[in-house]
Amino acid sequence: MESLGVLLLNPMNAYLEQELDRRCRLVRLWESPPDRRADFVRAHAASIRAVVGNASHGVDAALIDALPALEIIASFSVGVDRIDLAKCRERGIRVTNTPDVLTDDVADLAVGLAIATLRKIPQADRYIRAGLWRNKGDFTLTTRFSGKRVGIIGLGRIGLAVAKRVEAFDCPVNYYQRTKQAYPSYTYYPTVVELAANSDVLVVACPLNAQTRHIVNREVLEALGPKGVLINIGRGPHVDEAELVAALVDGRLGGAGIDVFEDEPNVPEALFPLDNVVLVPHVGSATHETRNAMADLVLGNLEAHVSNKPLLTPVV
């Protein structure tokens, strides 16, 4: 695919960048100053047939319009909520993502965040580093994770992987999803509010779309209550972040483990002093193993596209 002009939106993975550089005609968007991006894109537009973005750097209608030769968008992410899919359909542009290869890592992180939040692992680590164990004695008591009722919003690939993991902790699994599917060992609730009211830990694991934006709102947080913990490994806009911050600050919600935020990389500073939250910077898939597998999927999809073979993981 030496003749394929590829626009890479940001430096997302060294192996991917190196392979794109070796196998295609790679254009790096970040090589142009932010205020000259439009001119830069215009200068390369005729040759760019592929765009590679990720969960943070999507492809909007303006970029699609600026690229008349665009044939394929290969996203280095499973979520494609930042790509204007309607516009792609209209223009006949193909879209691929990176499902499956990241499922285990994202599910591991969900469980890790739940345990870290309830058992206050980062706080305990800070306690030692601040010399407080020596000076003030034992760290505070925390809350058990094993056996807690885990509610999962969305039993797709990642939701099911979370369910499988928490079963090993003897946690009853409850779930909500838009189209009910029968899972004999899990309990279905027809609304997210009812799910939250019957869960100790609520995990957001559904894709982001118009129906799931702010699926965790004030009512859901109230239903989860002052002992409940929210885990978000989906997308920031799944949660009404202002309501989440207010509920945590007021003690109306027990705690939260958060990987994704509404306006990444900006995180509400009101969360920083809180002792009942664990914050991580959108790292669900961020292991060497998974990111390299995601890179291979992006490359495989581009190879398939140029050789007229079926795409490995088509979205559109």
Positions in the binding site for ligand DGY (CB under 6 A): 55, 77-79, 102, 282, 284-285
How remote is the C-alpha of 252 from its chain's centroid?
25
Is 235 annotated as catalytic? yes
Shortest Cβ 207–ligand DGY spacing (Å): 9
Question: Among residues 70 and 101, whose Cβ is nearest to ligand DGY?
Answer: 101
Which member of 49, 57, 235, 305 is catalytic?
Answer: 235
Shortest Cβ 41–ligand DGY spacing (Å): 24
Which member of 25, 165, 282, 305 is catalytic?
Answer: 282
Question: Among residues 75 and 276, whose Cβ is nearest to ligand DGY?
Answer: 75
Contact 50, 5 (CB under 8 A): yes
**CB-neighbour burial class of residue 33 (10 A; exposed 0-12, middle 13-18, buried 19+):** exposed
Residue 163 DSSP code: H
**CB-neighbour burial class of residue 182 (10 A; exposed 0-12, middle 13-18, buried 19+):** exposed
Shortest Cβ 55–ligand DGY spacing (Å): 4
Q: What are the residues whose beta carbons fall under 8 Å from the beta carbon of 213, sequence distance 6 or more?
A: 237, 238
Question: Among residues 77 and 117, whose Cβ is nearest to ligand DGY?
Answer: 77
Is 25 annotated as catalytic? no
Q: What angle do CA 287, 288, 289 make, to 5 degrees?
A: 90
Shortest Cβ 76–ligand DGY spacing (Å): 7
Is 305 annotated as catalytic? no
Question: Among residues 254 and 284, whose Cβ is nearest to ligand DGY?
Answer: 284
The catalytic residue positions are 235, 264, 282
